[in-house]
Amino acid sequence: MVSLKSRKLGDCLVLINSVMVVVLINLLAGSHFFRVDMTEEGRYSIKPQTKEILRTLDDDVYIEVYLDGELNSDFKRFRKAIEETLQEFKIYSNNKIQYTFTDPNIAVSKKARAEFMNDLASKGIQPTNVIDTKEGERVEKIIFPGVLVSYGGFESGVTLLKGNKANTPEEEINQSIEGIEYELITAIFKLANTDRKRIGMVTGHGELDSIQIAGFNNALLELYDVRKVDLGRKKDLEEYDALIIAKPTEPFSPVDKFQLDQYIMRGGKVMFLLDKLEANVDSASGENYFAFPYRLELDDQLFKYGVRMNLDLVQDRAAGKLPVIIGDQGGKPRVQWLEWPFYPLINRYAEHPVTRNLDAVLLRFASSIDTVKAPGVKKIPLLMTSQYSRTVTAPVNVSVNNLRQALKPQDFQKSFIPVGYLLEGTFTSVFKNRFLPEGVDQSAVKEQSVATKLVVIADGDIARNDVNDRTGQWQPLGFDRYSKHTFANQDLLMNTLLYLTDENGLIRTRNKEVMIRPLDRDKAQAGKVTWQTVNLIAPLLILFCFGIGRAFVRKRNYSSHKNQHA
């Protein structure tokens, strides 16, 4: 017979209770799914908007990642972050996300490898050169930091390396890691979304033609249904989730302004991409070319909404370059690449999901923007010039020949001039307390808007793509034919439009932050010997102390047990 106070029975009861607790915890965990992220910045957590899209997938998504093989430490970290994000996607999608990693360099022959890489580039997965030092030798390798997402018979290529190129490689990788979730879930959303929003491209005022805006239009069609809109003929604008006005050159009629105003009053979103002065580089080769204002008749409307585009052009020391003939050598023109201050490189942005971790944007003949009093409207300066910039008031002499003169740093004393604003809130109609245009419906005029958003960028060319002069083929938006670099114009406009039309908050996934915690190399080197000694001796001391303590406890227990039986 076992005594209720026996030690053996107590141990058995503890074991049984422990097993039952473990079983109960497993049952609860199996019926209530949860994951715990113990990191300070939540690097392993994904946004609720992402989870919702993953839960509602109707079919499997196949993702092929082309970042594999021999990689340096930074890209190994990048690869690991991609894999960790995809693992989370797989869990929250109930295993509907399937992914593999592929090394584009595994092709046997050079020809096969080149064909494979060209195919990836054609699908939108852009390569990058990585220069590293291995065993004292300089090694250069082409990698493809991107993925191919396939869903329902369609596929989309995504480049994941999208940090700011002005930062260090480590910071660029870190910014790209912060954007992994956004880039992947946006690509999945593009393919899986059946309820596509409708975007209206306003026409009838000399806006950019179809080939000049082909790059932007092509990017829009991946996510939206795009239609041309004539404000004078289209009476019902509410079917459009947003309107885009891209570089108009002719005035808006009173009826057009009224239609646009009432669309905003009913909660419509508008992206204004406007040039204040008429200027172009083709006409700038002469000495006496001056940029004069466009007469768009939108000044009063924008003023009422809270901003004023100034009659000037912005010049910036941080600027795109132009090839300029500076002389003659051997009977041939001598060409030099010079910075063109009228082409400001925008690399300073607001702390906002639209512009977070964005690379530089190239503007052409942009104007400055001021804010004015507009009750109920929040004004956020999205785009700003560098700390070495200035404004030149109209009429502005725009001549490439001026580049031959050395720029004087003392002339560029203005800093962070706003050239783009996001406006949020409730807007007052420009037609409040004014006579309405003839021919419009005056029975249901709204004088105050519901909460809505507008974006005003003082450069219409931000949406214009270059066109190859020889072939007539349009280039991707943001591609500069002179520097051969692709700027982030398309990313900026697409992020902005997604923010304007995004009801489920998908753009907020761009707010993810991954902190870099680098070691202090000087301090680590100074304390190297100390910590090596500690790491070598400390474990031995711990084992020694544990052995002595255990022997002491056993001796005491033995002595106590012996005295009880004495």
pLDDT in tens, 407-442: 777 888 899 999 999 999 999 999 998 888 887 877
Residue ending a domain, choose from 435, 453, 487: 487
Distance CA 119, CA 130 (A): 20
For residues 168 and 149, state if they share a domain.
yes
> Does residue 560 form part of some domain?
no
β-partners of residue 424 are: 378, 453
In this structure, the answer to whether residues 95 and 208 fall within a common structural domain is: no
Q: Tell me whether residue 463 is in a domain.
A: yes
Give the Cα separation of 257 and 253 in Å (integer).
6
Provide the 10 A C-beta neighbour count for residue 130: 16
For residue 390, what are the contacts with CB-CB under 8 A and spacing of at least 6?
Answer: 314, 315, 411, 412, 413, 414
Q: What is the 3-state secondary structure (H, E, C) of 203-231?
A: ECCCCCCCCCCHHHHHHHHCCCEEEEEEC
* 476 secondary structure, DSSP code: P
Q: Are residues 186 and 202 in the same domain?
A: no
Place of tokens 């002069």: 469
Helix (H) or strand (E) holding 534: helix 528-564
Does a structural domain hold residue 354?
yes
Same domain as 438, residue 304: yes
Domain final residue pick, 191, 217, 250: 191
User: Do 306 and 224 belong to one domain?
Assistant: yes
The CATH number linked to 178 is 3.40.30.10
Other Cβ atoms less than 10 A from the Cβ of 128: the count is: 13
In a shared domain, residues 355 and 239: yes
Classify residue 231: in a domain, yes or no: yes
Tell me: do 124 and 150 sit in the same domain.
yes
Among the listed residues 273, 480, 282, the one whose alpha carbon sits nearest the alpha carbon of residue 399: 282
> What range defines the domain where residue 477 resides?
198-279+291-310+348-388+414-487
Same domain, 174 and 208: no
Number of domains the chain contains: 2
H helix count then E strand count, the chain:
12, 24
Q: Are residue 65 and residue 132 in the same domain, yes or no? A: yes
Peptide bond into 395 cis (omega under 30): yes
Q: pLDDT band for position 566 (50/70/90)? A: low
pLDDT (tens digit, 9 = 90+) per residue, 71-87? 888 888 989 999 999 99
Buried b / exposed e over 300-331, threshold 16 CB at 10 Å, is ebbbbbbbebbbbbbbbbbbbbbebeeeeeee
Residue 505: pLDDT band (50, 70, 90) is confident
Answer yes or no: do 181 and 205 share one domain. no
Residue 269 domain-assigned? Answer: yes
Minimum mean pLDDT among 204-208, 394-398, 545-549: which range? 545-549
For the chain, what percentages of helix, strand and coil (3-state, to nearest 5) are there? 35, 25, 40
User: Please, which residues have CB within 8 angstroms of residue 98's CB and are 6 or more apart in sequence?
Assistant: 60, 61, 62, 63, 90
On whether residue 255 sits in a domain, the answer given is yes
pTM to 2 decimals? 0.81
Same-domain status, 238 and 168:
no
From 156, 191, 226, give the residue that closes a domain.
191
